[in-house]
Structure 1
């Protein structure tokens, strides 16, 4: 059994390391035509790391069906948004919505908001649409672009799993305070150009 202080310290270290990674945000951040490029891209975007881990933490806090439904809804709707971006279907307020997702999901975790699974799916899906669209506009509409989005989806799912594992590993003592506050702070910092 791992002592609770060690669990909290580990989670804090993970979040601090994630916050130390430069936020390359979107459009134009490296190659966008291979599975490897798609897999690596979310791991170097502060907004993406923060949101994906927050989805996993919030799902773990909710428990039950949310542990699968919320991450799966994010990945599925993100792929739909990616397809819309690849097809150049316009979507307004993409970057502001992405920033809002970082703050909102951080607050949902820090406040331990307990919503029905379906409401969580709707909230998470809405934010996922914007994340997917932003990245879909970056990729070419060919097989390389599809490989990129597949890599992106796998990395996203792994970040969700990281959040779930952290939330479940910390158990009932985890209420999302520090992790959620860090997520919300990252969103505010990115919005004001501090991060």
Structure 2
């Protein structure tokens, strides 16, 4: 039986993205001893992976984009999120962890629940509403990233790190979304409902 990668483009994309994540994170950590800038890059790269809430939300952006948008527009969801993420990070740097703290962590968890709802309604909800949710979630996640910046290190390299890490998670989500498009509708509903339930559980534990 022929199982060449061309027969399974979506799963091959997921595998390539996963390998890229591992290699990029390893490179960033390996360079962390070289100075503050490298430490900032390594910290930024690992930050999106440090919490299940961040990880699920960023993958969900890619999944929604692959399912709800068409052609090159599928990159618009991750692009909106990344731009909002960077804007939110600047806010987080100004407010600091003490101010952002509990409210932002609850907001990050709530964004996961809302992404579950977005995936359930991917066909019924206008794309503009989806983009609005993606951008709002990007700001919230960005504030959390910015508040986690260690003063005395390079913010530019730290920001580059979490932007790259987030983009890699979006790529995995795009591949997963393409694969899920071929499964029965009930499988999609189950995974979307599971994502929403996970977000609600995390939100309830933080309020």
TM range (shorter): 0.7 to 0.9
Contact in 2 for aligned 1:81/1:128 (Cα 8 Å): yes
How many Å apart are 1:53 and its aligned residue?
Answer: 1.1
Is 1:144–2:144 an aligned residue pair?
no
Unaligned runs of 5+ in 2: 1-6, 19-35
RMSD over aligned Cα, in angstroms? Answer: 2.9
Number of matched pairs: 169
Moved more, 170-179 or 148-157: 170-179
| Equivalence for 2:61 | 55
Moved more, 104-113 or 172-181: 172-181
1:73-120 deviation digits (Å, cap 9, x = unpaired): 101101000011112287794233212100010121134344333322
Contact in 2 for aligned 1:110/1:178 (Cα 8 Å): no
Is 1:131–2:131 an aligned residue pair?
no
Using structure 2 for the length normalisation, give the TM-score.
0.70
| Distance (Å, rounded) in 1 between the aligned partners of 2:74 and 2:175 | 10
How many Å apart are 1:190 and its aligned residue?
Answer: 1.4
Which residue, out of 86, 95, 98, partners 1:79?
86
Unaligned runs of 5+ in 1: 15-30
| Equivalence for 1:46 | 52
Larger Rg: 2
Pick the structure with more helix per residue.
Answer: 2
Distance 1:66 1:96, change over 3 A: farther
